[in-house]
Structure 1
Amino acid sequence: MAEVVLITGTPGSGKTLKLVSMMAKDPMFQPDENGISRKVFTNIKGLKLSHIPVSSKLKEQSASTDEKLSFHDVYDWIEKPENHGSILIIDEAQDVWPARSPGAKVPPNVEWLNTHRHLGVDIFVLTQNPKYLDLNLRGLVKKHWHIAANKLGMRTLLEWKYCANNPITQAKDAFASIYKLDDSVYDLYDSAEVHTENKTKRSKWVYVLPLALVLAPIFLFVSYKMLKQNYSADREVPGLEQAASDPAAAGVPDTVGSYANGGNLTPEMFVPTLAEKPESKPIYNGVRQVKAFERVAACIDGGKSGCACYTDQATKIREIPEALCREYAHEGLPFDPYREQRQTADSRPAEAPPEERPQILALDGQPRQNIAYSNDAPVLAQ
Structure 2
Amino acid sequence: MAIKLITAQPGSYKTAMMMELANKMSSEGRPIYLCNVRGLKPEIPFPYQVLDHFKDWVDTPETSVIFIDEVQEFTRDVPTNCKTEDLPTWMTLLEKHRHEGKDIFIVTQHPMFIHTHVRRLTSEHIHLVRNGNVPFAAKRSWGFVESDPDDFQKATFKNGCTTTIYRPNKEVFNWYESTVLDTHKFKVPPKLIKGVAMVAGIIGFAVWIGYPVATKYLHMSDKEVTAKVHDEPVLPSDPSNMTLAERAKYDAAMAGLTPEQYADLMHPETRNAELQAKNDVRMETIAIKYNPNRPYEVDTSQIQYEVTAKPVFSGCMKMKGKYVAYTQQGTILHDVSQSDCRKLMEDGDRPFNYFQVQNNRPAQVNNAMPQVQMQPNYSSYQANNYVQPNLQRSSVNGANSQSSFSF
Instruction: Compute the TM-score of the two structures, normalised by the length of structure 2.
Output: 0.47
d(CA) in 1 for partners of 2:75 and 2:111?
11
Gaps of 5+ in 1: 32-36, 57-69, 233-337, 369-382
Distance 1:210 1:29 in 2: 44
**Cα gap change, 1:200/1:141 in structure 2, threshold over 3 Å: closer, same or farther?**
farther
Which of 93, 96, 117 aligns to 1:136? It is 117
Structure 1 residues 72 and 135: CA distance shift in structure 2, 3 A: same
* Kept in 1: contact 2:26–2:46 (CA 8 A): no
Q: Deviations over 1:206-257 (max 9, x none)?
A: 345567777877765554432246779xxxxxxxxxxxxxxxxxxxxxxxxx
1:172 aligns with 2:168: no
Superposed CA deviations along residues 271-293 of structure 1, whole A, max 9, x for unmatched, are xxxxxxxxxxxxxxxxxxxxxxx
Counterpart of 1:158 in 2: which secondary structure?
A: strand
Aligned equivalent of 1:183: 170
> Are 2:22 and 1:39 aligned?
no
CA distance in 2, matches of 1:120, 1:165: 27
Q: Which residue of structure 2 lines up, in the alignment, with residue 101 of structure 1?
A: 80
The range that moved more, 207-216 or 221-230, is 207-216
Identify which of structures 1 and 2 has the higher relative contact order when contacts are C-alpha pairs closer than 8 Å and 6+ apart. 1
Give the % identical residues. 21
**Residues 1:161 and 2:143 are matched in the alignment:** yes
Q: Hey, what's the Cα distance between the residues in 2 that align with 1:120 and 1:21?
A: 20
Corresponding position of 2:189: 203
Counterparts of residues 247-326 of structure 1 (less than 5 Å): none
CA distance in 1, matches of 2:223, 2:152: 58
Q: Deviations over 1:157-209 (max 9, x none)?
A: 32222111222347523433444443232112223x33642457642343455
Distance 2:154 2:187 in 1: 23
1:125 pairs with 2:106: yes
Match of 1:30 among 13, 27, 32: 27
Q: Deviations over 1:276-327 (max 9, x none)?
A: xxxxxxxxxxxxxxxxxxxxxxxxxxxxxxxxxxxxxxxxxxxxxxxxxxxx
Deviation at 1:29, TM superposition (A): 3.4
Q: Contact conserved, 2:57 with 2:66, CA < 8 A, in 1? A: no
Pick one of 66, 72, 88 that aligns with 2:55. 72
What is the letter of the counterpart of residue 54 of structure 2? Answer: F
Q: Does 1:364 align with 2:290?
A: no
- Are the counterparts in 2 of residues 149 and 200 from structure 1 also a CA contact under 8 Å? no
Distance 2:149 2:205 in 1: 42
Q: State the alpha-carbon separation in 1 of the partners of residues 21 and 202 from structure 2.
A: 40
Relative to structure 1, is the Cα distance of residues 51 and 136 closer, same or farther in structure 2, using a 3 angstrom cutoff? farther
> What is the Cα deviation at residue 89 of structure 1?
0.4
Q: Judge conservation of contact 1:39–1:87 (CA < 8 Å) in 2.
A: yes
The 8 Å contact of residues 4 and 104 in structure 2, kept in 1 or not, is answered as yes
Aligned length: 233
What is the root-mean-square deviation of aligned Cα atoms in Å? 3.9
Amino acid at match of 2:57: V
**Cross-structure match for 2:337:** none
* Contact 1:4–1:140 (8 Å) recurs in 2: yes
Residues 52, 21 of structure 1: alpha-carbon distance in 2 compared, 3 angstrom cutoff: closer
Classify 1:363/1:39 alpha carbon distance in 2 versus 1 (closer, same or farther; 3 Å): closer
Larger-Rg structure: 2
Note if contact 2:68-2:105 (Cα within 8 Å) is conserved in structure 1: yes
Q: TM-score, normalised by structure 1?
A: 0.50
Contact residue 133 and residue 185 of structure 2 kept, 8 A: no
Q: In the aligned structure 2, how far is the partner of 1:350 from the partner of 1:208?
A: 60
Q: How does 1:77-96 map to 2 (within 5 A)?
A: 77-78=59-60, 83-96=61-74
* Equivalent AA in structure 2 for residue 121 of structure 1: K
Gap change, CA 1:170 and 1:217, over 3 Å in 2: closer
Instruction: State the match for 1:329 in structure 2.
Output: none
Structure 2 alignment gaps of length 5 or more:
156-160, 230-255, 290-301, 304-407
Q: Quote the Cα distance in structure 2 between the aligned partners of 1:117 and 1:94.
A: 22
